[in-house]
Structure 1
């Protein structure tokens, strides 16, 4: 009785493909369930963030970890040159390479105050 030597490989391939399909479908349902567990949206998380957290998330790459300036200007002592209103306007509208809209509107005042106090 001669057996085809390819049969075991064919069975393994079919089982493997079936397992991949089943796990992929399960993963899709799990991802939706995990995503639904978070009660806050990304915008709500941003609105709850402190100025330091917003800075770390959006500003550190240009202004540096120690506010020393990298591709953007240094922020140390910026409150000596600009008042909070000017800082807020710059954060809100951007310009000269700085993108607008990095800080939620409800956090602009807090962020401007915080930036003006960096020494």
Structure 2
């Protein structure tokens, strides 16, 4: 008895088409949610956005990659005594505007930059 080699491929093709159709219907059901998310989230649009002000958390989320978990540096410079080299305003300016080719500008919004600069200025 000889098996027909076309049948397994036809079954796979039919299953594939059914999967595409199911995924399309699921996507259509989520269309309204996607539209709201693109417009700013609907209800959240009227509420002010919360900004984290914990400098340690800000550092962990934005700076740790270059400056290390313990502030001793890596790709970026050592920040363990940055407060003895720069004032709080100078540190804030560097965070907001960047410095040279290594420190990019605008990594954190200004309220976070203020909190981070105050925290780093105490590192002496």
Q: Bin the TM-score by the shorter chain.
A: 0.7 to 0.9
The corresponding residue for 1:112 is: 117
Question: Taking structure 1 as reference, are residues 17 and 57 closer, same or farther at Cα in structure 2, changes over 3 Å only?
Answer: same
Deviation digits for residues 62-96 of structure 1 (CA, Å, limit 9, x no counterpart): 10111001011111011122111111111111112
The corresponding residue for 2:63 is: 59
The corresponding residue for 1:84 is: 88
The corresponding residue for 1:71 is: 75
The 1-side partners of 2:23 and 2:53 are apart by 35
Q: TM-score, normalized by length of structure 2?
A: 0.70
Q: TM-score, normalized by length of structure 1?
A: 0.73
The 1-side partners of 2:30 and 2:71 are apart by 38
Question: Taking structure 1 as reference, are residues 23 and 49 closer, same or farther at Cα in structure 2, changes over 3 Å only?
Answer: farther
The 2-side partners of 1:88 and 1:29 are apart by 46
RMSD between superposed Cα atoms in Å = 3.2
The gaps in structure 1 that reach 5 residues or longer are none
The gaps in structure 2 that reach 5 residues or longer are none
The 2-side partners of 1:61 and 1:15 are apart by 48
Equivalent residues of 2:53, 2:115 under 8 A apart? no
Other structure's SS at 1:111 match? helix
Aligned pairs, how many? Answer: 114
Deviates more, 1:3-12 or 1:51-60: 3-12
